[in-house]
Chains A and B, each alone.
Chain A
Amino acid sequence: MLAKRIIPCLDVMGGRVVKGVTFVNLRDAGDPVEIARAYDEQGADELCFLDITASHEERPIILDVVARTADQVFMPLTVGGGVRTLEDIRALLKAGADKVAVNTAAVADPGFVQRASERFGSQCIVVAIDAKRVRSPRSKVEGRRVAEGSPQSSDAGWEVFTHGGRRSTGIDAVEWAGRMEGLGAGEILLTSMDRDGTREGYDLDLTKAVGRGVGIPVIASGGVGTLDHLYEGIVLGGADAVLAASIFHYGEATVGDAKRYLAGRGIPIRLA
């Protein structure tokens, strides 16, 4: 049986991890490679690097980080942040990323997802969706059809945001996920902007709504404060994988703790 994946996420800026990391035995707590190795030892199922570097000139730094990590860690690595062109994707894959997450570029040009998946394969194209609860998202998706019985036909829903959650798009998140699947996305990385950083748990309704609408895996993200939140994301939200940052970064729980906890509650988990 396919195990549910536990994915620690590292926010990387200028080649350094920006959130506090309190692992013991790290020579350099800001070095993404060192932290990746620590998560590897803890039994993480995948790693996610989010490059929050603002400037394009610093791209070579993340490529170097990816290459050095891929040399030492034999598990899947997803890299996102600032991916705009096919050349960006090619360079990240060549450096050793297994998957590349695309967000703003997909909204700006949905055809980009199709070209990327045709060229590199759906398996390595993750569409990251930053979604926020709204009363009534007015979809701007071209050729939109309101699905019968879709929860979006009522007055509650979630809207897609870009540019790190600063820019609204008017696009309905559930519908967008379906469209991205149709264009070849292999996976959806779904972040609740309402919950991100709150430690109140995932937006389970959002996770469920998006997961029901697509046949590709959905990674829940945003809001984890306790191990129980991971359980909720999988069982109540129906997520295929759960991503968390601070709970692992600040050493409150190791990935191993999380996996033993979930396995103890009957979730299919790979125990290293």
Chain B
Amino acid sequence: MGESVNRTRVAIVDYGMGNLRSVEKAFARVGHPAAITSDPADIADATHVVLPGVGSFPACMSNLENRGLAEPVLRAIEAGKPFLGLCVGMQILFSEGEEFGRHPGLGVFSGRVARFPESVGKRGLKVPHMGWNTLTFRRRPPAMRNVGDGSYVYFVHSYVVLPDDPGVIAATTEHGVEFVSAVWKDNIVATQFHPEKSQGVGLSIIEEFGKLG
């Protein structure tokens, strides 16, 4: 029970959407025990839960549900465990997605997920928004305590979250429009960018997240 013992056990939820190896390795790099799992019991046992996500909104939602992982994820959130959503793993926390038609999400956050507006392309900017862009904080979540305003992080996405409650917005980023790049409410922090691909800045977020709770 000494304080030097790292009691963190991170569950990285595997629901068949994308490669989670880089997420796992990022936790390993900063010294937090983490395991990729699709077992609800592991999610229940974990101290921290990470919901990654690559691909489309409906594919992620249906895979999560078909594997019986939506409920365990929601229970972990309700239990107050530090929870980290990544990319589409952030988007499906919202009530509704508009990728390939309208589809319900987990509804942890009220709001929808829509494609970058047409005006972005008309201004000569590319979609997907792919590459390194900067964060402007409105409220800095504890997991991002070491991340300065203007820090670069890595993005790959064509859809953005539109929270009904602007109070959940943690950070925004500019790409033709100002969009929400991170949200934070209670135990939940979620990022549109990929901390596991964002070199030192990203690793600091992973490290601080693992210290929460």
A interface residues, Cβ below 8 angstroms from B: 1-5, 40, 45, 67, 70-72, 74-76, 93-94, 96, 98, 120-124, 186-187, 215-217, 240-241, 270, 272
Measured in the bound complex, the distance between the Cα atoms of B22 and A96 in whole Å is: 7
- Give the 7 A-B residue pairs with the shortest CB-CB distance, closest first: A270-B152, A270-B132, A121-B55, A123-B156, A3-B132, A217-B126, A2-B133
Contact A70 B55 (CB under 8 A): no
Residues from chain A with a CB closer than 8 A to the CB of B132 are 2-3, 5, 45, 270
Residue contacts A-B, CB under 8 angstroms, 10 given: A3-B132, A3-B152, A5-B132, A45-B131, A74-B197, A98-B197, A121-B56, A123-B130, A217-B128, A217-B131
Measured in the bound complex, the distance between the Cα atoms of B174 and A124 in whole Å is: 23
Smallest CB separation, A272 vs chain B (Å): 7
Residues from chain A with a CB closer than 8 A to the CB of B26 are 74
Looking at chain A's contact residues, the main secondary structure is loop
New A-B pairs, 7, CB < 8 Å, besides A98-B22, A217-B130: A1-B174, A2-B132, A5-B131, A45-B131, A74-B196, A94-B21, A187-B130
Smallest CB separation, B156 vs chain A (Å): 4
Looking at chain B's contact residues, the main secondary structure is mixed
B interface residues, Cβ below 8 angstroms from A: 18-19, 21-22, 25-26, 29, 54-56, 121, 125-134, 152, 154, 156-158, 174-175, 196-200, 202-203
Residues from chain B with a CB closer than 8 A to the CB of A187 are 128, 130
Contact A75 B18 (CB under 8 A): no
Contact B22 A93 (CB under 8 A): no
Residues from chain B with a CB closer than 8 A to the CB of A241 are 131
Measured in the bound complex, the distance between the Cα atoms of B179 and A2 in whole Å is: 13
Contact A215 B126 (CB under 8 A): yes
Residue of A2, A4, A76, A272 most packed against chain B (CB within 10 A): A2
Measured in the bound complex, the distance between the Cα atoms of B55 and A240 in whole Å is: 22
